[in-house]
Chain A
Amino acid sequence: KNAISTHDEL
C-alpha cells in the first residue's frame, strides 16, 4: 500500500 495523500501522520 502506497498511502499517498492520506497523510495520517502529524
Chain B
Amino acid sequence: MNVFRILGDLSHLLAMFLLLVKIWRSKSCAGISGKSQILFALVFTTRYLDLFSNFISIYNTVMKVVFLLCAYVTVYMIYWKFRKTFDIENDTFRLEFLLVPVIGLSFLVNYSYTPTEVLWTFSIYLESVAILPQLFMISKTGEAETITTHYLFFLGLYRALYLANWIWRYQTENFYDQISVVSGVVQTIFYCDFFYLYVTKVLKGKKLSLP
C-alpha cells in the first residue's frame, strides 16, 4: 500500500459519495446517466466475486462492500426513488456498443480462462469505458451541474492516481498487471478533455457549459 493507492481509493470513494450527496440533497438525478451507473454496479459485481473466497485485508474487504453498496444505492436512487427526475431522454448511449467489444475482448485477452478470471477481466475493461454514457449525456445536453463535475473530477483522478501507484509498485515491488495498466491508461485518457474543462471553467467559478 502506497500513498498513490490510498489517495486513489479515497478519491474514488469521495466521487461516489459526492454523487449520492447531489442526488439526496437536490432530490433529483437530473444530468446523471443511469446507464453509466448500471455499468459501474456491474463492474463492482463482476470484480468483487472473490469477496468471500479471497481475503486480502480488512481494508480491502470493507472498501469492496462500501463500493458495492454505493453503486447499488445510486442505481436504486436513479431508477426507483427519484426516477421521475431522471433525464431518460438524454441518456441514450447504446450500451451494446460497449458491452459487445468488452465481452469479446475479455474472452480473448485474459490471464486465465476461468469464469472468475474472465469476469474480473471483463470488469477491468468495462470500467475503462463505463463513464462514456455520462460524458455522452453531458456533450448532448451541453451542460453539467457543478457538483456533477466534482464527481467526474474525482472519478477521473482516482484512475490517474492508480497509474502513479502502478509505476510505484513496478519500481519498488517489481509488480505489474498489464491488463489493469493498459485499461487504466485508456480510462484516464477519456477524462483528459473533461479535466481541461474542469480546470479552465469550474475551478474559476463558472458553470460547465459547452458551446
Contact = CB atoms under 8 A, between A and B. Distances in A.
Interface string B1-38: 00001000100100000000000000000000000000
Q: Size band of the B side of the interface?
A: 20 to 34
Contacts of A5: 111-112, 117
Interface string A1-10: 1111101111
A8 B9 CA distance: 13
B50 A10 contact: no
Interface in B98-114: 111-112
Contacts of A3: 175-177
Contact of A10 (B60, B174, B177): B60
Interface in B116-158: 117, 120
Nearest to B175: A3
B67 interface: yes
B59 to A, nearest CB: 9
Contacts of A2: 175-177
Contacts of A4: 111-112, 177
A10 B175 contact: no
Nearest to B177: A3
A10 B9 contact: yes
23 contacts: A1-B173, A2-B175, A2-B176, A3-B175, A3-B176, A4-B112, A4-B177, A5-B111, A5-B112, A5-B117, A7-B50, A7-B54, A7-B120, A8-B56, A9-B5, A9-B162, A9-B177, A9-B180, A10-B9, A10-B12, A10-B60, A10-B63, A10-B67
Interface of A: 1-5, 7-10
